[in-house]
Structure 1
């Protein structure tokens, strides 16, 4: 019994250099694949945020037009919308909404 315990204690187990290199290669492949994918997710999120902000400003301009006056040819800026209370004061962006009418169809464009 004592001999078996000594044999178990003497038996040293561990990873070989080849096994460690294999793990490093696999981790490198995972990182190499995931970094471009994360970059695409970030770029898509930025585009979605811009589109949502533009939609928010257009909605605020429509409410501004309904409650105050018609939007003139110069358009209405986000500063004017903030001053009139249609956008929150912490809105970050310097945009202008212009209104065009073509064949009776009204369109709002953010510049």
Structure 2
């Protein structure tokens, strides 16, 4: 039995060209399906990171409002735009968050802001605008939209 198996295996020289091409085609199909899916996951994770940063910055502004900090509070029934550096200097943020779109860069401090609005009922509403270091607006939404997972 063993010698018969060895004879059969001895006649096998390797894979034919057709078999090799079939394997290459299958690998190409799998790659064509997998690469766009991975790219979509990466973009979704960046969007989620922007939303998370936006919520963190809004929460920092909420702490300032709760502390009745005059540097943070809007006028009696008005609005107040806060730069990220103002939240840092007031001690409500440790530093300006990093922009997940560009490694090592932070959000643009001149254009990124939190807008705090006090309505006639005394309720505060928060809107965040985050602009990347390259000048692209990546988040522009109020708190309810961010909590729902929408960045714009």
TM-score (norm 2): 0.61
Corresponding residue for 1:108?
A: 126
| Superposition RMSD in Å | 2.4
Shift of 1:65: 2.1
State the SS of the aligned residue for 2:126: strand
- Greater Cα offset, 100-109 or 55-64: 100-109
State the SS of the aligned residue for 1:75: strand
Instruction: State whether residues 71 and 98 of structure 1, in contact with CA within 8 Å, keep that contact through their aligned partners in structure 2.
Output: no
In 2, distance between residues paired with 1:90 and 1:79? Answer: 7
**Equivalent pairs, count:** 109
In 1, distance between residues paired with 2:113 and 2:52? Answer: 15
1:11-26 matched pairs, under 5 angstroms: 11-26=11-26
State the SS of the aligned residue for 1:100: strand
Instruction: State whether residues 76 and 98 of structure 1, in contact with CA within 8 Å, keep that contact through their aligned partners in structure 2.
Output: yes
In 2, distance between residues paired with 1:65 and 1:77? Answer: 15
State the SS of the aligned residue for 2:14: coil
The runs of 4+ residues in structure 1 deviating greater than 4 Å are 6-10
Corresponding residue for 1:33?
A: 33
Q: 1:63 to 1:39 in 2, by over 3 A?
A: same
